[in-house]
Structure 1
Amino acid sequence: MAPTEFEGWLGVDKSAVKGNMKWGKFEPKKWAEDDVDIEISHCGVCGSDMHTLSSGWMPTPYPSVVGHEIVGKAVRVGSNVKHIKTGDRVGVGAQARSYMKKDCPDCSSGLENHCAIESVNTYGSVYPNNEGKSYGGYADHNRTNAHFVFKIPEGLSSADAAPMLCGGVTVYSPLKANGCRPGKTVGKVGVGGLGHFGVLFAKALGADRVVGISRKADKRKDALALGADEYIATSEDADWATKHMRSLDLIISTVSSEKMPMNDYLGLLKTKGTYIQVGAPDGGNLPPVNAFTLIANGIKVGGSAIGAPREIEEMLQLAADKKIKPWVQERPMEDANKVVVDFEDGKPRYRYVFVNKKHT
């Protein structure tokens, strides 16, 4: 049985991102019979955690417990919940609730992740109707609406599944939605926590050719080991933009920078190709796009946000069936402050996952 008061790593101000989180108690959202309480065994560490701890994207409602790549055991299940039972191994991604009614055009279409009426993040959100705040997975327990709680398939380890719940689906969703399949060539801008998933899932979905794209050549060996067929180092490979012009059907960019060579990236697309941005820099600003680049090539530029529940379930099953193995480094939950500092220093290769020794 889950306790009525939870404990976790609290960020109390912007200095939390520098390794100044405090372990303490917090009150989860008010219990509803649509909810599931989870005893957390694993939690992935995501760049979104850092943006939130530092109030980089927007002011954070401190205190905040971050972490939205949660895996653990269901220890309390609401009476309205049918697909989860007590004792199941389950996971939660970046979204904790949406409006979920028929009059919502997004929720009724299976696009809950784009719901404009009510969208509650797994952490850092305030629920309507005085239900409380949302708190994430750098903690012993989590409470989330069951619609956003997923059973973890057999054959997929908890440490591997955790970072898929945000990092994985953030690239899986736009790959699947934009036609990644046999016969297609796919570019991945950024080979890091998100980007390495992009390579893995693009190959799993059958892309004929996958190209890793990053600023430096130091990740070339890793990208090829992950399954990429080619690698472009934009600051080191001479004439890369000309050499690879109009060679890709689809580009997924995980880079969060106002300085990336956007028009050169767009020039890599074949006629009628598609560029999808998933990386979100502080402030949200991207480099300007030249209108003639869009018009002359007939290309499309868009964005994508995490993934819908149906996509998460589909992705997890694909990962289990294809035996997809992300590159994760397990770190003790009690070392959270050190892990946050290491993450900010760019040390993970390619995804840190907390292990809560109390529950493993």
Structure 2
Amino acid sequence: MPGEDYKFQGWMGLGPESADGKMVWQEFPDNRKPFEENDVDIKITHAGICGSDLHTLRSGWGPTPYPVCVGHEIVGTAVRVGSKVEKGIKVGDRVGVGAQNNSCLKPDCEECSNGDENYCTHGTNTFADTYPDGSMSYGGYADYHRAPSHFVMKIPDGIASEAAAPMLCGGITLYSPLKNHGCGPGKKVGIIGVGGLGHFGVLFAKALGADKVVGISRKADKKSDVLKMGADEYISTDEDKEWAKHHARSLDLIVCTVSSPKMPLTDYLGLLRTKGTFVQVGAPEDKLPDLTAFAFIVKGVQFAGSAIGPPWQIDEMLKFAADKKLQPWIEKIPMEKANDAIVRFESGKVRYRISLVNEKHL
């Protein structure tokens, strides 16, 4: 396209088998987004791996519009900047993009006008989605990415790129519900599922000043790690006998990152104090367990959901993380080994998040 002297190419999923480490490196199709004056082109240096990538590659959330390039935790250098960009972004700035690339931004849109762009019904996901003009979005397992500047973040100097990338989806997915539901002094907070998402919950809950932070997972093998992250306590639901009884009515806020029809959801709700809040962020390919109304009624508890966060809150999170010198637990893997990386990610052995490093762009 005019104005470009670089190729938009990356790891493409051509079918559900791509989730098994069978992505193919190739150029994006011609239906990618044309450049507009509010856009930023980013030379990608780092791309985080998120569970959403695997769900999409295997069509787990519904039919995927193959070919697809996944990856929505993108950090790199701005190499082309339109004349109408927001936030003062300049060529050479270190910038990032999360899971959302666009929303309608219309004054009569309730969500966009209230700073809730992440819930706009006319939004565009960073990959496997369409823009209003019908062009397709392609993600960050790639050399370059194009995004409207409203959804491009400047990365503060105090955060390494490999750490910033996973914050742009994984980090905000936990920061947003914690902040929105009052995590801070006086609160006792539980994080269910201390994996790639949940470890951000422990880090942010502690940094936000919660009186007590409890990591909750099935197995006990992560206990040492989670305590090192700052948790005050750890519950292994498979190995701690009568955990639900011993910890009943002990937490004000729970953020749940797991999503299984077999998870003990009624017991999890039992951990809440009266008028406590349970926030679901894990997105299942299957349904959640059945519940009776009494799980809510008898204590006046709230069951809430949360999806990523709006651009202003991502900016806030990045500044907070830089100020607090938060250090997420990251594994770095070369972009050229992305197929091996997604297989490792799916194995559940990652401690605790992967950043693909595009070494030729460093």
- TM-score category, normalised to shorter length: over 0.9
Q: The residue matched to 1:312 in structure 2 has which SS?
A: helix
Residue 310 of structure 1 corresponds to 312
Unaligned runs of 5+ in 1: none
Residue 324 of structure 1 corresponds to 326
Q: The residue matched to 1:228 in structure 2 has which SS?
A: coil
Residue 337 of structure 2 corresponds to 335
Q: The residue matched to 1:181 in structure 2 has which SS?
A: coil
Deviations 1:130-174 (A, max 9, x none): 3x1000000000000100000000111101100000000000000
The answer (yes or no) to whether the contact 1:94–1:121 under 8 Å persists in 2 is yes
Give the one of 59, 70, 73 matched to 1:55.
59
Compared CA separation, residues 221 and 2, structure 1 to 2 (3 A)? farther
Distance 1:108 1:4 in 2: 36
Unaligned runs of 5+ in 2: none
**Paired AA for residue 59 in structure 1:** P
Deviations 1:261-318 (A, max 9, x none): 00000000000000000001114x1011221121001100010000111110000000
The answer (yes or no) to whether the contact 1:183–1:207 under 8 Å persists in 2 is yes
Distance 1:327 1:60 in 2: 30
The answer (yes or no) to whether the contact 1:2–1:39 under 8 Å persists in 2 is no
Residue 282 of structure 1 corresponds to 285
Give the one of 21, 24, 30 matched to 1:22.
24
Question: Displaced runs of 4+ in structure 1, greater than 2 A?
Answer: 1-5
In the TM superposition, what are the counterparts of 1:184-199 in structure 2 within 5 Å? 184-199=187-202
Q: Identity over the aligned pairs, expressed in percent?
A: 61
Distance 1:240 1:233 in 2: 8
Residue 103 of structure 1 corresponds to 108
In the TM superposition, what are the counterparts of 1:233-272 in structure 2 within 5 Å? 233-272=236-275
Residue 358 of structure 1 corresponds to 360
Shift, 1:2, TM fit: 4.7
**Paired AA for residue 356 in structure 2:** F
Greater mean deviation of Cα atoms: 74-83 or 232-241: 74-83
Deviations 1:65-114 (A, max 9, x none): 00000000000011101421110000000000001010100000000000
Residue 94 of structure 1 corresponds to 99
Residue 225 of structure 1 corresponds to 228
Residue 153 of structure 1 corresponds to 156
Distance 2:303 2:212 in 1: 21
**Paired AA for residue 331 in structure 2:** Q
Distance 2:113 2:7 in 1: 34
Deviations 1:173-226 (A, max 9, x none): 000000101010000000000000000000111101000000011111111010
**Paired AA for residue 111 in structure 2:** D
Deviations 1:28-54 (A, max 9, x none): 311111110000000000000000000
Q: What is the TM-score with the length of structure 1 in the denominator? A: 0.98
Distance 1:90 1:353 in 2: 15
Distance 2:285 2:74 in 1: 24
Shift, 1:4, TM fit: 6.1
Give the one of 68, 75, 91 matched to 2:72.
68
**Paired AA for residue 61 in structure 1:** P
The answer (yes or no) to whether the contact 1:196–1:223 under 8 Å persists in 2 is yes
The answer (yes or no) to whether the contact 2:263–2:289 under 8 Å persists in 1 is yes
The answer (yes or no) to whether the contact 1:2–1:37 under 8 Å persists in 2 is no
Q: The residue matched to 1:159 in structure 2 has which SS?
A: helix
Residue 218 of structure 2 corresponds to 215
Q: The residue matched to 1:66 in structure 2 has which SS?
A: coil
**Paired AA for residue 140 in structure 1:** D
Number of residue pairs matched by the alignment: 357
Residue 128 of structure 2 corresponds to 124
RMSD: 0.9
Shift, 1:3, TM fit: 3.7
Distance 1:199 1:62 in 2: 36
Distance 1:344 1:81 in 2: 37
Distance 1:311 1:3 in 2: 34
Distance 1:257 1:54 in 2: 18
Q: What is the TM-score with the length of structure 2 in the denominator? A: 0.97
In the TM superposition, what are the counterparts of 1:172-183 in structure 2 within 5 Å? 172-183=175-186
Shift, 1:345, TM fit: 1.0
**Paired AA for residue 136 in structure 2:** K
The answer (yes or no) to whether the contact 1:277–1:302 under 8 Å persists in 2 is yes
